[in-house]
Structure 1
Amino acid sequence: MKKIIYIALALILIGAIGGLIVFQTTDLFQTSKASAQTKTASVNGIKKINVDVSSLDVEVKKTNRDQLSAKVKGWGNKQMIQGVKLAINKEGDALHVTAVRNQSFFTFTIGWSKLIIEVPEQAYNQITVDVGSGDLSIEDLQAGHLSLTSGSGDVTAKNNKSRGNFIVQASSGDIDMQHNQAQNEARVSANSGDLDVSDLTAKSTRLETASGDIDVLRYSGSLIAQANSGDLDIESHQLSGDIDAQVASGDIDINFAQDPDALSVDYRGGSGEGTVNLDGFLYKEKTDHLIIGQKGDGKYKIRVRTNSGDFNLQ
């Protein structure tokens, strides 16, 4: 028994000595504003910008300078910043920005860090940003095609313009979009997370979430919105395109500040009630779970499907 106690004490002593050595010879517990890593590159002749990040918060925004810059900054021990391998590579008319964190078993990080990319304004054909794990935000960008992907983290997009499509995807995290434009399609999807979209202008918009609410405030164009589990709330000044709204479990509310002059409604629900409160709306068929009708010439079509939840249009 005594032998076991001696062995245990020896192991504790060895651990304490090892911990003291680590404390005195490394920066593991020495936190401060770490020195930033910075890379720059010319954008002359560049048409495509691709950003690929493994595990880091990312912010991409416009700059008035004539060079693209990528900076890893933050607070914490040395490994929090220096443990990130940052690179910018040029391939033809494309710039590739990569940031990969060293995930060695013996690497320890304390603190926080963020990759900030500043992009000069010019006529890019494509800007894509792919983040494995971390929050992503972009602001004031313009390109022929904009694509954002986050594996795990929230996505925020403000004041961006696409001459073609604008695609935003998040596996696990909320998506917040404000004052964005897409000349063709805006497509926003999340496996698990809420979608908040406001002041979106697009020829067509598609919003999808497997688990989460969808809130739309002021938009233009046609709209497809689908949620498996969550509420769908659409508010806008006026109806400017067809709407296809589907929710498996949750309510659907559609509100317009200005009553539409012409629309048709096709609502079918499983468990829940449907109501339409619009002056001049004429019913062709109406039950608790079915509404078929129109106003005017039925120019815009509103199609609503719910399995479990109420529907209200006004």
Structure 2
Amino acid sequence: MKKLAGVFLILVGLLIIAGTLFSTVIEWKPAPQDGAGQAVTESELGNTDRIEVNFSSADINIETHNKDTVEVVSLSNSSEDEPVVSQNGSTILIEQKRNHWWPDFSFVLFQKREWTVKIPEDFQKEISLYGSSGDVSVAGPLNLGVFAADLSSGNVEVDEVKAKELSISLTSGDLMIQDSEAEHASLETTSGDMEVLTFSGAMEAVLTSGDFEAEWEEMSGRIDIEVTSGDVEIITGGADLELDVEVSSGDIENDIPLDSLTSQEERSLRGTKGEGDIPLTIRTTSGDVELKE
């Protein structure tokens, strides 16, 4: 009986995969060119406090425009899973239309999906992204209360975003942030590198496997960096620091002139530069740390 049940489940799984492949092949057509295959959806901004994007197996581009609408331009060589824009209270929700209940394998096999979400340049509330299997590009200038992204697979690039709260969690992929500012940034990657260039503000960064590289234009608040496996390279922008560095396995190279050296050992370094206004704490399990002014 158990064997029959197992065979039945296998057959059901094969039928689902075959159905997906069949429907994909039937609907597939060459990648659109010169604007063909584009669909445009708009929603009035009104009193919107939050813009939320939910996606799977699609590349997402966030841009600004000088209109008072949220516009979604979708590019696909299939009519499957087009974006749907709806208003839920003070939230504009952008999500994929599902034409079937089974898992989607078509992105991997044939289809190209890309959304460009255009946001009013003076929108200053919250943008939230939730998704898997796709790259994300955010191109400002944007001045927000909150920018949050919880993503499982794909690379993320953020450019010219200023936010009170900047929160990005990425399971698999590289994260790059440049020319941005946050009162507090919370960044996390499980497998992938993190590069933050020309940044201003406070930060908490956690990496499981990957290198961390950051260059501050201006530090504020606290800076906490935790890396399990990977190297750390930081340019502090000349900030007055209270420095606390520990590595379990790796070297520490410090080019910051410290006015007060609390302790210096092979695997740790503690000291103060100037007034010591900015606590900078670095912890690595396996990896080197390089500090520059």
Query: What TM-score does the superposition give when structure 1 sets the normalisation length?
Result: 0.71
| 2:257 is the counterpart of 1:255 | no
Summarize the alignment of residues 271-310 of structure 1 with structure 2, pairs less than 5 Å apart: 271-310=249-288
Q: What does 1:155-174 correspond to in 2, within 5 Å?
A: 155-174=136-155
SS in 2 for 1:153: coil
Of residues 62-71 and 292-301 in structure 1, the stretch that sits farther from structure 2 once superposed is 62-71
Aligned-partner residue type, residue 112 of structure 1: K
Cα 1:237–1:150 change in 2 (3 A) is same
C-alpha deviation, 1:152, in angstroms:
1.7
Contact 2:57 2:132 in 1 (8 A): no
Contact 2:50 2:90 in 1 (8 A): yes
Matched, 1:194 2:174: yes
How far off is 1:57 after superposition?
A: 3.5
User: What secondary structure does 1:220 align onto?
Assistant: strand
Cα distance in 1 between the residues matched to 2:279 and 2:31: 58
Residues 208-231 of structure 1 deviation map (CA, whole Å, 9 limit, x = unaligned) = 111111111111111111111111
In the superposition, relative to structure 1, how do residues 248 and 277 fare at CA in structure 2: closer, same or farther (>3 Å)? same
- In structure 2, the gaps of 5 or more residues are 1-21
SS of corresponding position for 2:180: strand
- Aligned partner (choices 146, 162, 172) of residue 181 of structure 1: 162
| Structure number with larger C-alpha Rg | 1
**Aligned equivalents of 2:276, 2:133: Cα separation in 1:** 42
Q: Aligned residues, how many?
A: 262
Match of 1:150 among 131, 135, 147: 131
Identity across aligned pairs (percent)? 26
Following superposition, the deviation at residue 53 of structure 1 comes to 3.8
The offset of 1:155, in angstroms, is 1.5
Query: Taking structure 1 as reference, are residues 275 and 145 closer, same or farther at Cα in structure 2, changes over 3 Å only?
Result: same
Counterpart Cα distance in 1 of 2:136 and 2:57? 14
State how far apart, in whole Å, the 2-side matches of 1:293 and 1:148 are: 39
Structure 1 unpaired stretches of 5+:
1-21, 122-139
Question: Using a 3 Å threshold, how does the CA distance of structure 1 residues 231 and 57 change in structure 2: closer, same or farther?
Answer: closer
Shift of 1:100: 1.9
Take 1:233 and 1:284, find their aligned partners in 2: how far apart are those partners?
25
TM-score (norm 2): 0.75
Q: Deviations over 1:11-31 (max 9, x none)?
A: xxxxxxxxxxx9xxx965764
What does 1:12-91 align with in structure 2 at a 5 Å threshold? 31=30, 33=32, 36-65=38-67, 67-74=69-76, 76=77, 80-81=78-79, 83-84=80-81, 87-91=84-88
Correspondence list, 1:213-252, <5 A = 213-252=193-232
Secondary structure of the corresponding residue to residue 237 of structure 1: strand
- Structure number with the bigger relative contact order (C-alpha 8 A, sep ≥ 6) is 2
**8 Å CA contact retained: 2:61, 2:138:** no
**Alpha carbons of 1:307 and 1:58: their partners in 2 closer, same or farther (altered >3 Å)?**
closer
**Other structure's SS at 2:220 match:** coil
Which structure 2 residues correspond to residues 87-126 of structure 1 after superposition, within 5 A?
Answer: 87-103=84-100, 111-119=111-119, 121=120
Cα RMSD after superposing both structures: 3.1
Contact kept in structure 1, 2:52 and 2:129, CA below 8 Å: no
Distance 1:232 1:88, change over 3 A: closer
